[in-house]
Amino acid sequence: MPPHFQTGHIVTAFLAIAGIVAACAPLHGYPDDPEDTTATLAALAPYFDPAVDKTYNAMPADVPPGTLNRQNYRDLVVMSRMRAYDLEFDSFERRLNGDSNVVALGGDVTLLVLGALTATLGSATTKAALGAASTAVAGAQTAVNKDLYFQKTLPAMLDQMEANRAKAKLPIFQGLTLPDSQYPLVRAEIDLQILKQSGSIPSAISVITKMTSKDNQDAQAKLAPLRSLRFSTSSTSQRIMAWLLPGGKVDSSNMARLQQWMKQDTEDPRLQDMPPMQLLNENEDLEADRARAITALHIP
Amino acid sequence: MSICGTFKTTDVSTNDVDNVVAIYQATVPAPVRVDKKQDAPNSWTVTAVWPPCPQNTSHSTNNST
């Protein structure tokens, strides 16, 4: 292949890749923000200055009406900081959404194009270079796939972060209705610190983990009475047992179907976490469960 | 959540005990172990043990929690 032809192909190939990646520009899921948040944050910066506390403490509690007093100043500082935290959280939320989308889409397509080019184009050197690029993208994709869990759980985490922030804002708004003597700036600063932390991923994960742990505890508590049961000789038990053990040996296909049904049954969620043998034992609720299983699985 | 902790079937007849053991053993995920113990003539208890349940959850047949 003539060298100029190779070069032309390579340039075309990289333009194609660039075009495809550009076509995969992230759809952030948010409308454009007309506000210049950088400028707004810069304007709010003075309210984070340590000198604020000094100014606040130097102010008299009681001043003539219409004059900036300590409580007015507290409200101004607190609301300004909350505004800044809101803007930063909004930006953080947008970045989390946008970044996870662009890596997944762009990486997939780039990898396909690079792989195809390596197979069809140019000299050994060109192929080696493209192959190396392909491997690099594949490596990046492996990392992305490891982050798949993160990406899939992102909406739940964002929901939790928003819920945590709303919860953290409540005592601040309540505090601002109180006079300065009952809700001084230093107390508000403690609440603001909680608000700042409540918009973080670790904070969201912590709450979700606690909720999951509670769900597990509840599920186990409901399962406890079914852990030790008497063997049942009811007709439903005997029918299922005969179906599971045709000729005295376990039919693994029927066993898998029964377990699948138990996992998907919505009427008795306890079935999801128990072995099929427990379903065949003596218990009034399980008798009803067996009847449903017989119908659903057409057990003779 | 997956199957965890200990499950028992009591009052199993001698005729049925091996079938009960076989059904426990065929469970997915498989138990760590399955034991059978004779309590009386023609009466057995079969115990199947899976890995312990996550912390703070019950994994005992004594169902204390």
- Alpha-carbon distance B41 to nearest alpha carbon in chain A (angstroms): 15
Mean pLDDT calculated for residue range A288-295 = 95
- Interface check for A291 against chain B (CB to CB < 8 A): the answer is no
Please answer yes or no on whether A229 and B2 come within 8 Å at the CB atom. Answer: no
Which chain A positions have a beta carbon within 8 Å of B40's beta carbon? none
Q: How far is CA A119 from CA A128, A195, B40, in A?
A: 10, 54, 73
What ipTM was estimated for this complex?
Answer: 0.86
Please answer yes or no on whether A276 and B19 come within 8 Å at the CB atom. Answer: no
Please answer whether residues B33 and B46 qualify as being in contact, where contact means their C-beta atoms are separated by less than 8 angstroms: no
Among the partner residues A219, A252, A278, nearest to B7 by beta-carbon distance? A278
Give the helix/strand (H/E) hosting B12.
Answer: strand B6-12
**Count of CB atoms situated within 10 Å of the CB of A30:** 11
The rounded percent of chain A whose pLDDT value lies above 70 is 71
Please answer whether residues B6 and B55 qualify as being in contact, where contact means their C-beta atoms are separated by less than 8 angstroms: no
Among the partner residues B1, B3, B11, nearest to A275 by beta-carbon distance? B3
The rounded percent of chain A whose pLDDT value lies above 90 is 40
- Interface check for A91 against chain B (CB to CB < 8 A): the answer is no
**Residue with tokens 């009811």, as numbered in its chain:** A234
- Alpha-carbon distance A161 to nearest alpha carbon in chain B (angstroms): 24
Q: Look at residue A61 in the predicted model and tell me its pLDDT.
A: 72
**Count of CB atoms situated within 10 Å of the CB of A276:** 24
Which chain A positions have a beta carbon within 8 Å of B1's beta carbon? 216, 219, 272-273
Q: Look at residue A140 in the predicted model and tell me its pLDDT.
A: 52
H-assigned helices in A121-234 = 124-146, 148-176, 185-198, 201-223
Please answer yes or no on whether A255 and B23 come within 8 Å at the CB atom. Answer: yes
Among the partner residues A224, A275, A276, nearest to B58 by beta-carbon distance? A224
- Interface check for A230 against chain B (CB to CB < 8 A): the answer is yes
pTM above 0.90, yes or no: no
Please answer yes or no on whether B27 and A276 come within 8 Å at the CB atom. Answer: yes
Residue A290 has pLDDT above 60, yes or no: yes
- Interface check for B34 against chain A (CB to CB < 8 A): the answer is no
Question: Can you tell me the distance from the alpha carbon of A175 to that of A170, in angstroms, rounded to the nearest whole number?
Answer: 8
Please answer yes or no on whether A259 and B7 come within 8 Å at the CB atom. Answer: no
Please list the pLDDT of chain B residue by residue as tens digits (65 residues).
689 999 999 999 999 999 999 999 999 999 999 999 999 999 999 999 999 887 654 445 544 33
- Alpha-carbon distance A201 to nearest alpha carbon in chain B (angstroms): 23
Question: Can you tell me the distance from the alpha carbon of A113 to that of A4, in angstroms, rounded to the nearest whole number?
Answer: 21
Q: Look at residue A21 in the predicted model and tell me its pLDDT.
A: 46
- What does the pLDDT look like over A229-239, one tens digit per residue? 999 999 999 99
Residue A193 banded pLDDT, cuts 50, 70, 90: very high
Which chain A positions have a beta carbon within 8 Å of B9's beta carbon? 229-231, 277-278, 281
- Interface check for A219 against chain B (CB to CB < 8 A): the answer is yes
Please answer whether residues A194 and B34 qualify as being in contact, where contact means their C-beta atoms are separated by less than 8 angstroms: no
Q: Look at residue B63 in the predicted model and tell me its pLDDT.
A: 41
- Interface check for B65 against chain A (CB to CB < 8 A): the answer is yes
- What does the pLDDT look like over A237-278, one tens digit per residue? 999 999 999 988 999 999 999 999 999 998 998 999 999 999
Q: Which of A148-152, A179-183, A259-263, B61-65 has the lowest mean pLDDT?
A: B61-65
Strand partners, B12: B44
- Interface check for A248 against chain B (CB to CB < 8 A): the answer is yes
Q: Look at residue A210 in the predicted model and tell me its pLDDT.
A: 77
Residue A138 CB burial class (10 angstroms; 0-12, 13-18, ≥19): middle
